[in-house]
């Protein structure tokens, strides 16, 4: 086709038509990237469709075709369009977010100072703004436009730059940024046809020829293992025609250790019933299921059986799992069952590894993908099933850029592909269970643990009753320490859970009573003893441990509050004979450390494990018989309507870590609110009790799942401007709502209000919440607001649209 419609990777909502020169036409198909001119720049575009003609205007020509093969199938474009519409996000940016990172070529602008600019700098007569720009660029010779804008805190910087360019004081030029992700090529050696010249044969040369003859094709890397000097030896052999050296694209292998194949066990009665229920409707197309089954009830085995069915039929399967620490386990089980039919995608892959997993899918080399949230975009064409394990997990929600929820998208993609979608969890989200209640989802239930292992017994300990000699709260009560002792004496492992890292979490000035807060954020800093600093967990800013109170300059700062680091040091003092490890963000930031800690637990090289929620997720450690929860109510008081739900899920999940092996587990849950319904439900591990108490409150306040919400997050470094802009956005929304006639009573617009964390990284934060039972209504209202001429983009102010928000702070 002579024309194509293209989504450009820029923040524009519509797609554009381009002309394809004759010689490039055969390379253009949907899913392939092209380099296109856009205004003065060159940017990446994604081909959506071919077009016979172009009416009413002359289309610009594309500059280049960037891929040999489509990066995604044509059928996925409809999915991308749905996402763009629902999340109010530009289509090109949706596709960019869906693809592995590093797939983007565009012009980057660089600025340098002209001769005239230099001369003017020496003479006088520059405005302060002009002088600032020139002074910034000059020492560096040139800098990127982006960098310049960021460093000159000038609100009219764009106009200023344009004027200075016109007056020939600066020079703006473009350089094409290349893809960061590269296809890996390797050298392979194959037998030659007939030697053209005869050369002398050494022992090693003969060995190479024999190997090549035997294998017919061998990679140079493989050959090097046998003959380390091979790279130098093959050249003359190739020149003389004995062998051929070819370059071929290869896939990087991120999987590390190989796994032993497993044999599928005989399903239990319950598992069998669940599998049958789904299979019986395979031919009916889309249906969503909630597989609710307590921890250890065999959900993963159900997933694997269904995936087996699907790939037998020649279709493909997407399996989503929460962030990193869990993937190692489920991934291993899938690889043990399905071998190299599986691609794996998660956040600790390098850019190149990620690219290769994606290519394996796009080139149909695999039929299963297992991975974290972005795997929902996997470029499969004929999807037979989508599975979301631990569907309640918040890591399915992306919190930057395209703020999507992979769990929700799984249902959308399943509908588009007419295939079943299975959401599984021991502690389902309120939203998914409400979908069961409303008969939108079918429920599949697993109610007994494999091997009948009973759930652990949970004891609540009221923290209010325990003070030390000086009247401070006890962090580790006698009950808990007694149980730990007992557990250690039996030779078992104990897991101590606290969802807060660091040593002292609320350092306080003893002279003026203010807490030590971050210079750039409206949050208290945390003392990290191991690092010898106070740290801000939002922006990373550090203060020395010897810091003085920023308000009164006193040096008496008391390290109040406790985190995992403190609990670890207390454990060390209380149980000097025990081997300890700590697992939190601080101890797992380096690549490979997570796996190392998990292994040391598995191999029973540690007795006590202190950790944050990282430990709560899906691990199966048979020797842990005791779980101690230091403070069950930490997340209960957060200003978020899901605080109760999160707390319940977290506690139930942590408790589920105890007693996965032969002996029954025990959980000691310390809390300040033993009578709270969330804590009580968690103690009983009773999801229904939690759900039934939670639902009336959500209904009364019109919170999800009884309404749809869009949160508008407005931030910037100038407080007054942010506040004014937030007011303008709210006014515009309210004015648009007035025009909706009868429907207007169906929408609530709350705010603008200051966010509960008022400042992060020197940016002030305001919010507006739009709520309605109708998703279409909130969506159309916010879209109309964004299109309103009054809401032009303001420099220095960021407006983020968060559809179905998770993080309300």
CB of 554 to Zn ion, least distance (A): 5
Residue of 271, 431, 623, 685 that binds ligand ADP (CB under 6 A): 271
299 binds ligand ADP (CB under 6 A): yes
267 binds ligand ADP (CB under 6 A): yes
Find which of Zn ion, ligand ADP, none residue 509 binds, CB within 5 to 8 Å per kind.
Answer: Zn ion
CB of 388 to ligand ADP, least distance (A): 13
336 binds ligand ADP (CB under 6 A): no
Find which of Zn ion, ligand ADP, none residue 708 binds, CB within 5 to 8 Å per kind.
Answer: none
Q: Which stretch binds ligand ADP (CB under 6 A): 66-74, 291-299, 551-559, 603-611?
A: 291-299
Identify the DSSP state of 284: G
CB of 588 to ligand ADP, least distance (A): 22
Find which of ligand ADP, Zn ion, none residue 328 binds, CB within 5 to 8 Å per kind.
Answer: none
Distance CA 140, CA 10 (A): 28
Are 350 and 377 a contacting pair, CB within 8 Å?
Answer: no
x/- contact string, 210-249, with ligand ADP (CB under 6 A)? ----------------------------------------
Distance CA 318, CA 320 (A): 6
CA distances for 250 relative to 196, 247, 354, 368, 712, angstroms = 30, 9, 13, 19, 44
Are 442 and 433 a contacting pair, CB within 8 Å?
Answer: no
CB of 271 to ligand ADP, least distance (A): 6
39: left (phi > 0), else alpha (psi -120 to 50), else beta? Answer: left
Token pair 């002579």 in the structure block, residue: 2
Residue of 70, 90, 92, 298 that binds ligand ADP (CB under 6 A): 298
Q: Which is nearer to Zn ion, 286 or 520 (CB)?
A: 520
Q: Which is nearer to Zn ion, 238 or 539 (CB)?
A: 539
536 binds Zn ion (CB under 5 A): yes
Residues numbered 504-523 forming contacts with Zn ion, rule: CB under 5 A:
509, 511-512, 518, 520-521
Residues numbered 447-476 forming contacts with ligand ADP, rule: CB under 6 A:
450
Q: Which is nearer to ligand ADP, 148 or 436 (CB)?
A: 436
CB-based contacts of 101, cutoff 8 Å, min separation 6: 180, 181, 351, 354
Q: Which is nearer to ligand ADP, 301 or 483 (CB)?
A: 301
CB of 791 to ligand ADP, least distance (A): 47
x/- contact string, 174-203, with Zn ion (CB under 5 A)? ------------------------------
Long-range contacts of 273-279 (CB under 8 A, 24+ apart): 274/302, 274/444, 274/445, 274/446, 275/302, 275/305, 275/306, 277/442, 277/444, 278/306, 278/420, 278/422, 278/444, 279/306, 279/309
Are 625 and 663 a contacting pair, CB within 8 Å?
Answer: yes
β-bridge partners, 112? 142, 171
270 binds ligand ADP (CB under 6 A): no
Q: Which is nearer to ligand ADP, 262 or 787 (CB)?
A: 262
Q: What does R_g of the chain's alpha carbons equal in angstroms?
A: 30
Based on DSSP, count helices (H) and strands (E) in the chain, helices before strands.
Answer: 23, 34
Give start and end residues of each alpha helix (H) in 461-563.
Answer: 478-490
Residue of 201, 418, 552, 757 that binds Zn ion (CB under 5 A): 552
Q: Which is nearer to Zn ion, 512 or 702 (CB)?
A: 512
Phi, psi of 450 (to 5 degrees): -55, 140
CA atoms within 13 A on the CB side of 603: 7
Are 461 and 480 a contacting pair, CB within 8 Å?
Answer: yes
Find which of ligand ADP, Zn ion, none residue 536 binds, CB within 5 to 8 Å per kind.
Answer: Zn ion
Give start and end residues of each alpha helix (H) in 632-672.
Answer: 643-655
233 binds Zn ion (CB under 5 A): no
Q: Which stretch binds ligand ADP (CB under 6 A): 92-100, 219-227, 265-273, 282-290?
A: 265-273
Strand boundaries in 468-546, DSSP class E:
493-497, 508-509, 526-528, 533-535, 542-544
Are 8 and 44 a contacting pair, CB within 8 Å?
Answer: yes
C-alpha 232: how far from its chain's center? 45
296 binds ligand ADP (CB under 6 A): yes
295 binds ligand ADP (CB under 6 A): yes
The DSSP H or E segment spanning 276 is helix 269-279
539 binds Zn ion (CB under 5 A): yes
Find which of Zn ion, ligand ADP, none residue 538 binds, CB within 5 to 8 Å per kind.
Answer: Zn ion
Work out the angle between the directed axes of helices 327-338 and 593-602 (0-180°, nearest 10). 80
Token pair 């159309």 in the structure block, residue: 780
Find which of Zn ion, ligand ADP, none residue 552 binds, CB within 5 to 8 Å per kind.
Answer: Zn ion
Q: Which stretch binds ligand ADP (CB under 6 A): 164-172, 179-187, 293-301, 783-791?
A: 293-301
Q: Which stretch binds ligand ADP (CB under 6 A): 12-20, 85-93, 262-270, 698-706?
A: 262-270
Q: Which stretch binds ligand ADP (CB under 6 A): 213-221, 226-234, 296-304, 583-591?
A: 296-304
CB of 691 to ligand ADP, least distance (A): 19
Q: Which is nearer to ligand ADP, 296 or 752 (CB)?
A: 296
565 binds ligand ADP (CB under 6 A): no
End-to-end Cα distance, the chain? 50
Q: Which is nearer to ligand ADP, 345 or 455 (CB)?
A: 455
Give start and end residues of each alpha helix (H) in 424-502.
Answer: 430-437, 478-490
Q: Which is nearer to ligand ADP, 296 or 561 (CB)?
A: 296
CA atoms within 13 A on the CB side of 42: 19
Interface positions with Zn ion (CB under 5 A): 509, 511-512, 518, 520-521, 536, 538-539, 541, 549, 551-552, 554
């Amino acid at each position: 086709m002579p024309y194509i419609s293209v989504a450009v990777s820029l923040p524009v909502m519509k797609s554009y038509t381009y002309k394809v020169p004759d010689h490039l036409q055969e390379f253009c198909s949907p899913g392939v990237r092209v380099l296109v001119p856009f205004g003065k720049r060159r940017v990446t575009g994604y081909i959506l469709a071919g077009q016979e003609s172009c009416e009413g205007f002359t289309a610009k020509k594309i500059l280049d075709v960037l891929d040999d093969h489509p990066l995604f199938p044509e059928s996925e474009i409809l999915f991308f369009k749905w996402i763009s519409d629902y999340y109010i996000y530009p289509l090109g940016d949706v596709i960019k977010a869906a693809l592995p990172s590093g797939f983007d070529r565009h012009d980057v602008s660089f600025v340098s100072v002209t001769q005239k600019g230099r001369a003017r700098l020496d003479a006088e007569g520059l405005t302060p703004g002009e002088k600032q720009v020139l002074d910034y660029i000059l020492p560096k010779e040139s800098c990127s436009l982006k960098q310049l804008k960021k460093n000159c805190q000038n609100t009219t910087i764009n106009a200023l730059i344009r004027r200075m360019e016109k007056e020939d004081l600066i020079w703006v030029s473009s350089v094409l940024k290349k893809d960061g992700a590269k296809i890996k090529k390797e050298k392979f050696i194959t037998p030659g046809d007939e030697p053209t010249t005869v050369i002398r044969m050494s022992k090693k040369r003969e060995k190479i020829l024999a190997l090549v003859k035997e294998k017919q094709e061998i990679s140079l890397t493989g050959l090097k293992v046998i003959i380390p000097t091979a790279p130098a030896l093959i050249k003359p052999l190739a020149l003389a025609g004995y062998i051929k050296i070819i370059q071929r694209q290869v896939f990087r292998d991120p999987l590390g250790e190989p796994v032993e194949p497993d044999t599928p066990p005989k399903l239990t009665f319950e598992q069998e019933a669940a599998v049958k229920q789904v299979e019986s409707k395979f031919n009916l197309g889309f249906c969503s299921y909630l597989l609710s089954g307590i921890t250890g009830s065999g959900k993963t085995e159900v997933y694997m059986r269904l995936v087996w069915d699907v790939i037998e039929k020649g279709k493909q399967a997407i399996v989503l799992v929460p962030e990193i620490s869990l993937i190692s386990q489920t991934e291993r089980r899938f690889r043990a069952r399905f071998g190299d039919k599986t691609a794996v995608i998660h956040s600790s892959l390098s850019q190149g590894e990620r690219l290769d997993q994606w290519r394996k899918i796009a080139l149909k080399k695999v039929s299963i993908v297992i991975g974290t949230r972005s795997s929902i975009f996997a470029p499969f064409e004929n999807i037979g099933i989508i599975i979301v394990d631990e569907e309640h997990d918040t890591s399915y929600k992306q919190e930057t850029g395209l703020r999507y929820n992979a769990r929700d998208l799984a249902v959308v993609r399943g509908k588009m592909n007419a295939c079943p979608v299975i959401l599984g969890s021991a502690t389902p989200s309120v939203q998914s269970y409400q979908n069961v209640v409303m008969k939108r989802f079918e429920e599949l239930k697993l109610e007994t643990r494999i091997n009948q292992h009973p759930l652990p017994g949970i004891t609540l300990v009221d923290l209010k009753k325990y003070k030390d000699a000086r009247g401070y709260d006890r962090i580790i009560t006698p009950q808990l320490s007694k149980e730990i002792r007992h557990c250690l004496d039996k030779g078992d492992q104990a897991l101590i859970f606290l969802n807060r890292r660091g040593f002292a979490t609320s350092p306080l000035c003893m002279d003026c009573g203010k807490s030590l807060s971050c210079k750039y954020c409206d949050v208290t800093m945390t003392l990290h003893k191991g690092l010898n600093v106070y740290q801000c967990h939002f922006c990373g800013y550090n203060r020395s441990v010897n810091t003085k109170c920023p308000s009164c300059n006193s040096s008496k700062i008391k390290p109040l509050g406790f985190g995992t680091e403190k609990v670890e040091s207390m454990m060390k003092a209380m149980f000097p004979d025990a081997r300890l490890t700590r697992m939190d963000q601080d101890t797992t930031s380096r690549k490979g450390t997570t796996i190392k800690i998990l292994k040391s637990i598995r191999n029973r090289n540690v007795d006590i494990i202190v950790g944050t929620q990282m430990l709560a997720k899906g691990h199966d450690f048979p020797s842990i018989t005791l779980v101690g929860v230091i403070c069950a109510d930490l997340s209960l008081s957060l200003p978020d309507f899901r605080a109760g739900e999160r707390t319940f899920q977290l506690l139930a999940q942590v408790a589920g870590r105890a007693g996965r092996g032969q002996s029954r587990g025990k959980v000691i849950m310390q809390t300040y609110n033993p009578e709270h319904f969330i804590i009580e439900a968690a103690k009983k591990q009773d999801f229904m009790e939690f759900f039934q108490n939670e639902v009336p409150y959500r209904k009364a306040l019109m919170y999800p799942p009884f309404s749809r919400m869009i949160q508008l997050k407005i931030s910037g470094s100038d407080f007054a401007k942010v506040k004014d802009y937030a007011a303008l956005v709210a006014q515009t929304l309210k004015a648009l709502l007035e025009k909706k006639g009868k429907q207007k009573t169906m929408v609530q617009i709350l705010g603008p209000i200051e966010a509960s964390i008022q400042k992060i990284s020197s940016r002030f934060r305001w919010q507006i919440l739009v709520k309605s039972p109708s998703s279409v209504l909130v969506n159309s209202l916010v879209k109309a607001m964004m299109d309103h001429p009054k809401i032009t983009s303001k420099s220095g102010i960021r407006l983020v649209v968060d559809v179905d928000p998770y993080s309300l702070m």
